[in-house]
């Protein structure tokens, strides 16, 4: 390997500072990070947050937890592929994440997502519109660096590099937020596209963001936080992220584009006819040997009644994407962790984009899916309104006490309510809604 002029040890640092290692503990800093994520309540709650709401009607379909496990497996597969398919002295090898680091980043990438998917995110963003907004990626950073259970002040107190890895959008809300419509007179009028949040970090996490980015030069920080806004978008958007983040993001896209499609096929939401009409012709138009040689076989296997054949198709697609990954340089940054990126060649990018677009149009946007998303959205809007109207009466005692402390310190307690509601699982949120609003539901003996 090459010798790097940059310090590696700074990326092992935690906000809490150096601590004595436990006796006979030989784990690396990133192995310790991974353990903290896996053993956290926030990670366990992902088992009851669905990936696609309408298909959570059996024990087969994926949840946010199983999705995160698949993203971690794909992410470590990408890193392993890049390590062994390139010369050992390639300059990027010094900065390529090891298994523990990339798995930690991938496992935690969805840890801040609220109940009811995009509907929950829109609902919480609307209720927090005058208090910094809500966004799933911002909440993930908040949990790992501020609100997690390992430390009262520093969240899960993970390493600087783990925090950099989950930082998909290294800009604060006020840097990218656009103009929203006027406030609504009724929650029923809320249109999701009007209140989708900008991809960001909360402004109140500015100090945490600054700490994560400390090792970079002033010019790198400035370039990293550049934003772009197109004429048809409401918000601006960050353009850059780190080397590790590019692996996680690509692994997330592959898991979404391929594995979520498998769920939809098994449950009959996508038929062979739909595939033949709307997706296969566009895939066939991509001039690449893999698709030219395998598209017919992929279709036959994917829609087979035999699960091992369907798995063969899914595995072939995932393997194609993983083995196609390449390391590129942006040539815009001084630091290797910002300049190196993992990308797909154009043909594979096109194929993955087509799979994601197909799922959006033929699965996510189906009325039966969107009705459940809308219902979850409405439930959270009403619950937030109730909790914020009388927090000390309705919130669990520990959350109410924290709300009170925030108020006494001159801060808004709404972020505490938002944290509580974002942590809810789909099932827990449904139970709390029934307890608050549905006659003959709930008991004083129900757990809060």
pLDDT for residue 444 is more than 70 = no
Confidence of residue 443 (pLDDT cuts 50, 70, 90): low
Per-residue confidence (pLDDT) for residue 448, from 0 to 100: 63
Per-residue confidence (pLDDT) for residue 2, from 0 to 100: 46
Query: What rounded mean pLDDT belongs to the chain?
Result: 93
pLDDT in tens, 302-342: 999 999 999 999 999 999 999 999 999 999 999 999 999 99
Per-residue confidence (pLDDT) for residue 151, from 0 to 100: 87
Confidence of residue 382 (pLDDT cuts 50, 70, 90): very high
Per-residue confidence (pLDDT) for residue 1, from 0 to 100: 43
CA–CA dist 91, 405 (Å, integer): 50
pLDDT in tens, 6-61: 788 999 999 999 887 787 888 999 999 999 999 999 999 999 998 775 555 566 67
pLDDT in tens, 175-214: 999 999 999 999 999 999 999 999 999 999 999 999 999 9
pLDDT in tens, 340-367: 999 999 999 999 999 999 999 999 999 9
Q: Sign of dihedral through CA atoms 124, 171, 250, 215?
A: negative
In this structure, the dihedral spanned by the alpha carbons of residues 162, 166, 170 and 175, taken in order and rounded to 10 degrees, is -140
Of the chain, the end-to-end C-alpha distance in Å amounts to 54
In this structure, the dihedral spanned by the alpha carbons of residues 7, 209, 163 and 345, taken in order and rounded to 10 degrees, is -90
Residue spans of the domains in the chain: they are: 29-243, 244-365, 368-437
Confidence of residue 411 (pLDDT cuts 50, 70, 90): confident
Chain centroid to Cα 363, Å, comes to 19
pTM for the whole structure: 0.94
How large is the average pLDDT for residues 405-413?
A: 89
What 8-state DSSP symbol labels residue 115?
T
What's the topology of domain 29-243?
A: Hypothetical protein af1432 (1.10.3210)
Close Cβ partners of 286 (under 8 Å, ≥ 6 residues apart): 347, 350, 351, 354
Per-residue confidence (pLDDT) for residue 6, from 0 to 100: 79
CA–CA dist 165, 241 (Å, integer): 8
């Amino acid at each position: 390997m090459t010798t790097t002029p940059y310090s590696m040890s700074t990326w092992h640092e935690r906000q809490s500072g150096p601590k004595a290692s436990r006796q006979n503990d030989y784990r690396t800093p990133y192995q310790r990070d991974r353990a903290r994520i896996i053993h956290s309540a926030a990670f366990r709650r992902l088992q009851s947050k669905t990936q696609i709401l309408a298909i959570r009607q059996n024990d087969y379909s994926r949840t946010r937890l199983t999705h995160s496990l698949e993203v971690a497996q794909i992410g470590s597969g990408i890193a392993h592929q890049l390590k062994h398919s390139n010369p050992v002295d390639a300059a990027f090898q010094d900065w390529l994440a090891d298994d523990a680091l990339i798995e930690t980043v991938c496992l935690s990438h969805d840890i801040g997502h609220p109940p009811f998917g995009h509907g929950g995110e829109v609902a919480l963003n609307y209720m927090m519109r005058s208090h910094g907004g809500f966004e799933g990626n911002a909440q993930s950073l908040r949990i790992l660096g501020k609100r997690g259970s390992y430390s009262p002040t520093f969240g899960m107190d993970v390493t600087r590099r783990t925090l950099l890895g989950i930082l998909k959008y290294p800009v604060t809300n006020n840097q990218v937020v656009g103009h929203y419509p006027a406030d609504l007179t009724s929650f029923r009028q809320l249109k999701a596209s009007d209140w989708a949040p900008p991809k960001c970090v909360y402004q109140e996490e500015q100090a945490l963001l600054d700490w994560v980015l400390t090792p970079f030069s002033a010019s790198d920080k400035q370039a990293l936080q550049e934003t772009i806004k197109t004429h048809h978008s409401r918000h601006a958007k960050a353009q850059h992220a780190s080397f590790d983040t590019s692996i996680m993001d690509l692994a997330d896209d592959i898991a979404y584009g391929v594995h979520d499609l498998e769920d939809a096929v098994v449950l009959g939401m996508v038929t062979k006819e739909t595939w033949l009409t709307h997706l296969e012709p566009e895939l066939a138009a991509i001039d690449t040997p893999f698709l030219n040689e395998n598209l017919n076989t992929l279709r036959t296997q994917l829609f087979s009644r035999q699960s091992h054949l369907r798995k063969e198709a899914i595995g072939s697609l995932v393997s194609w994407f993983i083995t196609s990954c390449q390391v590129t340089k942006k040539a815009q940054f001084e630091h290797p962790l910002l300049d190196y990126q993992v990308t797909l060649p154009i043909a594979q990018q096109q194929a993955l984009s087509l799979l994601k677009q197909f799922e959006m149009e033929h699965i996510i946007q189906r009325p039966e899916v969107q009705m459940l998303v809308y219902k979850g959205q409405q439930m959270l809007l009403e619950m937030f309104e109730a909790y914020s109207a009388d927090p000390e009466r309705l919130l669990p005692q520990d959350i109410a006490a924290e709300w009170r402390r925030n108020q006494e310190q001159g801060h808004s307690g709404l972020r505490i309510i938002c944290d509580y509601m974002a942590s809810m699982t789909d099932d827990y949120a449904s139970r709390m809604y029934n307890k608050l609003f549905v006659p003959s539901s709930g008991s004083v003996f129900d757990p809060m």
